[in-house]
Amino acid sequence: MYFLGMDVSTTATKALIADEAGRVVGSAASEYAFETPRPLWSEQQPDLWWQGARQAIRAVLEKTGIPNNEIAAVGLTGQMHGLVLLDERGKPLRPAILWNDQRTQAQCDEIHRLIGKERFTQITGNLALAGFTAPKLLWVRENEPDLFARAAHVLLPKDYVRLQLTAGYAMDKADGAGTVLMDLRNRTWSDEVLEALAIPRAWMPELFEGPQITGYVTEAAARETGLAAGTPVVAGGGDQAAQAVGVGAVKQGIIALTLGTSGVVFASTDGPIIEPQGRLHAFCHAVPDKWHLMGVMLSAAGSLRWYRDTFTPGLSFDDLLLPAEKISPGSDGLFFLPYLTGERTPHPDPLARAAFCGLTVRHTLAHCTRAVLEGVAYGLKDSFELMKSSGLASIEQVRISGGGARSSLWRQILADIFNCELVTVNTTEGAALGAALLAAVGTGFYPDVEHACEKTIQITGITRPDPETAERYARSYPLYTALYPALRPTFTASGN
């Protein structure tokens, strides 16, 4: 018995097949582009996702040689927040407006005016931000009223692929929460928000928990993908929730840290926890009756890549980091503020900027390198501190993945700054594997998501904090947190 996980990302659709033990037996991907037709805009044609899905599924079935009748179920994950606006026949009315589109600040302000910022945060768990789905709907209504008048359905990117597979309109609750149109506590659409924003309730699809079956592969979809007709398709989850399942962050106290170009701190919670000022995202988890808090750093490993490409182009990351191991913790008073592309958590400020602070003639390239690693770690610690102050009782373990996790030096710095055990796990496929595990639970092969993770995900490495170093970083952390407030007037005045 095998399970297929599909990840509909911004740049490619990936299909992965896992066996009953959670081992990945094959994967394939089909790439595509997105468009930026105007400043701040980011759009994509929905049919690219379906084309990518067809190609990736056929490719992985061919590569593995697994008969299609041995694929027990399909799980879906993908990019969150994108607006897919469909007519009554299920045809896209316009290109999807993606998660990284930034055109809707005026509509975010309007949402806060109509509902009240505090009330909106208490209902949805979040501020209205330009990346979310709700303000995109308001933008279409204001700027493309003829298209808006023809709308009949709202979906998210992966759910458009689901529509093609099953001919059904459905959405999981984790991804649905990212539309900021849901009542977070009750895990359903918010009539109060929909009515205040004049968005018809009939447009919104039925919501499902992550492992629930939402439909079955149709005869037409079977012909196009190579899957067997009648194969169950489970709800799945948005990419971050599925990623957390893929590394086993499904219990309160276990944190998933993704150290990629951006950095994501993901904490599973047993109940809805809302940061009062909306500085953390609060969504439903892909695990039934679980929620999560999430902090996002825009330039995590991206900071190190920028630093390497700018100052030591052509040098390998290993050679760049080796001298930094000899620099003492704290980089002799040098700090790096990692806001190269603005920031989201804890400062939702597109004008936030990066800076080296405390440079002297004593500092070398190795000092600067270590300061970059430490600055990113301090920035990620901001999310941990917000989670604790919001009511997260304890942080027992951090499960790290992403390109930055390959550096033993960076893992040690993170463990010391977090003052928490940091572990790596045997899975590197992240969201797509999480979707496959949700599919396995949906068929009843595993009784629940926690059991599926316990059986398939093992710890492969442990990095423990050094008490003396952790105390040293604890004394330096307040100096780091003082940098943004001190420099913000300069960032705002420059406007670059």
Q: In one letter, which amino acid is 365?
A: L
Question: In this predicted structure, what is the pLDDT of residue 496?
Answer: 65
Structural domain spans, the chain: 2-235, 248-496
Question: In this predicted structure, what is the pLDDT of residue 351?
Answer: 87
Question: In this predicted structure, what is the pLDDT of residue 427?
Answer: 82
CA-CA distance, 148 to 342, in Å (whole number)? 32
Can you say whether the dihedral through the CA atoms of 193, 173, 341, 11 is positive or negative?
negative
CA-CA distance, 456 to 394, in Å (whole number)? 25
Yes or no: say if 81 and 180 are a contact pair by the CB < 8 Å rule: no
pLDDT tens-place values along the chain, 496 residues long: 999 999 999 999 999 999 999 999 999 999 999 999 998 899 999 999 999 999 999 999 999 999 999 999 999 999 999 999 999 999 999 999 999 888 999 999 999 999 999 999 999 999 999 889 999 999 999 999 999 999 999 999 999 999 999 999 999 999 999 999 999 999 999 999 999 999 999 999 999 999 999 999 999 999 999 999 999 999 999 999 999 999 999 999 999 999 988 899 999 999 999 998 999 999 999 999 999 999 999 899 999 999 999 999 999 999 999 999 999 999 999 999 999 988 989 998 888 999 999 999 999 999 999 999 999 999 999 999 999 999 987 888 999 998 999 999 999 999 999 999 999 999 887 899 999 999 999 999 999 999 999 999 999 999 999 999 999 999 999 999 999 999 999 998 886 6
248-496 folds as Nucleotidyltransferase; domain 5 (3.30.420)
Task: Find all residues with CB under 8 Å of 415, minimum gap 6, and list them.
Answer: 398, 421, 422, 463, 464, 465
Alpha-carbon distances, residue 118 vs 35, 111, 115, 192, 359 (angstroms): 34, 11, 8, 14, 41
- The b-or-e profile of 336-364 (16+ CB within 10 A means b, else e) is bbbbbbbbbbbbbebbbbbbbbbeeeebb
Q: 239, 332, 349, 448: which one is catalytic?
A: 239
2-235 folds as Nucleotidyltransferase; domain 5 (3.30.420)
HSE of 186, CA atoms in CB hemisphere, 13 A: 10
Q: Dihedral of the CA atoms 7, 10, 11, 15 (nearest 10)?
A: 10
> What are the structure tokens assigned to 403, written together?
């390109």
Helix, strand, coil percentages in the chain from 3-state DSSP, rounded to 5: 40, 20, 35
CA-CA distance, 188 to 85, in Å (whole number)? 20
> What are the structure tokens assigned to 398, written together?
């951090």
Among all chains, which residue has been given the structure tokens 């994950």? 77
CA-CA distance, 374 to 392, in Å (whole number)? 24
Rounded to the nearest angstrom, the gap between the alpha carbon of residue 179 and the centroid of all alpha carbons in its chain is 13
Phi, psi of 87 (to 5 degrees): -85, -175
Query: What one-character-per-residue DSSP string does 119-147 give?
Result: HHHHHHSS---TTSHHHHHHHHHHH-HHH
Can you say whether the dihedral through the CA atoms of 187, 192, 194, 197 is positive or negative?
negative
Question: Catalytic site residue 239?
Answer: yes
Phi, psi of 315 (to 5 degrees): -80, 140
CA-CA distance, 57 to 51, in Å (whole number)? 10
Identical topology for domains 2-235 and 248-496: yes
> What are the structure tokens assigned to 33, written together?
């582009």
Q: How far apart are the first and last CA of the chain?
A: 54
Yes or no: say if 287 and 301 are a contact pair by the CB < 8 Å rule: no
pTM metric for this prediction = 0.92
CA-CA distance, 432 to 473, in Å (whole number)? 36
